[in-house]
Structure 1
Amino acid sequence: MSKFNLELRIKVVTEYLSGKGSPSLAKKYRISNHAIILGWVHRFERRGIEGLKDRSLSQEYSSQFKVDVLNWRKRNQASLPV
C-alpha cells in the first residue's frame, strides 16, 4: 500500500501547477522531501493521472522476462543491488 494515495497526489500536483512551491506543499501535507512532489509532477506531465498511480501495483512482468533477467545476471555475473 502506498503512503500517499492517488487523491492526495492529484491534489498536491494540482496545487503545484497552480503556482505553489514544492517545499511549502511538502510541509503542508507532511511529505518528508519536496523532491517527492517534483517526481509526481514529472510523472504527471509525462503520463497524466496514470503516472500518479502506485507503480508497484501496475508493474507486472512475464515469466519469460524474469527468466531472461536471471539468465542475463548469470551470463554477466551481476548481483542485485543492496
Structure 2
Amino acid sequence: MVKFTVKQKLQALNLLKEGYSSCSVAQMIGTGSHQLIDTWAAQYQHFGVKGLEIRHTSQNYRGQFKLQVLNWRKEHDETYQNTAIHFKIATPSLICTWQKRFDEGGLDALFTKRGRPPMNKLPKKPVKYTSSELSELERLRLENRQLHIENDYLKKVEALARRKDAQRKKNGPSSKS
C-alpha cells in the first residue's frame, strides 16, 4: 500500500477544488481508488490539515464505545467514513473491523482486550484444610485408590477370560468321551 504525504494529499484536494472528479484525481496521483480521495476530502473538511496527517495512535477504545458507534451507524444508515467523522475516529476502516468482529463473534468480540493477558505474579497460596476436611479428603483418596485397584483387577480378569476363550477356539472343540 502506497503512503501519501500530507503535501501529496493537499495537491490532490487542490485538483478536486479545480473541478476534477475524484476518479480522475485518483488516476492522476496513482491511488487506484477514488474512495481514498473522497476520504481525504471529508477528513480535510472536518478536521483541517490535521485530518490528513498520518497517525499512529494506539488508541484503546472500550467495548461500550465500539457498540455505541456500531449502533449509531446502523440507526442512521451511515457509511464508515461518516461514522468515523461523527465520532472523531481517525480511520474509518477501524469501524469496519469492529463490525466484522461483531458479526463473527457477537457482543463478546467487542469487549476483548488487546494484547496478551497479564501473568499472575503472585504465587498460589497453599490451601489450608480443617481437620474434618482433611479426614474427608483422606477418606476420598483411599476410596479412589480402592476403586482403581478394583478396576484394574476386573480388567485383568476380563483379559484372562478372553485369553481362555481365544485358546479354546484355537484348539477346537474338546473331545471328551
TM range, smaller chain: 0.5 to 0.7
Percentage of identical aligned residues: 21
Name the residue aligned to 2:157: none
Greater RCO (CA < 8 Å, at least 6 residues apart): 1
Amino acid in the other structure paired with 2:22: S
For structure 2, the residue ranges without an aligned partner over 5 or more in a row are: 64-106, 113-177
Structure 2 equivalent of residue 77 of structure 1? 108
> Following the alignment from structure 1 to structure 2, what is the Cα–Cα distance between the partners of residues 48 and 18?
18
In the other structure, the counterpart of 2:34 is: 34
**Aligned alpha-carbon RMSD (Å):** 2.5
For residue 26 of structure 2, give the secondary structure of its aligned residue in structure 1.
helix
Larger-Rg structure: 2
Q: CA deviation at 1:5?
A: 1.0
* Whole-angstrom CA distance in 2 between matches of 1:6 and 1:18: 18
TM-score, normalised via structure 2 length: 0.34
Q: Which runs of 5+ in 1 are unaligned?
A: 71-75
Match of 1:7 in 2: 7
2-structure distance, mates of 1:10, 1:42: 12
Alignment deviations for residues 26-79 of structure 1 (CA, whole Å, 9 cap, x no partner): 111111111000000000000110011013x2x243xxxx4x848xxxxx5226
Consecutive aligned runs of 4 or more in structure 1 exceeding 2 Å deviation: none
Aligned partners of 1:33 and 1:20: how far apart in 2? 14
Q: 1:14-33 to 2 correspondence within 5 Å?
A: 14-33=14-33
* Cα separation, 1, equivalents of 2:22 and 2:62: 37
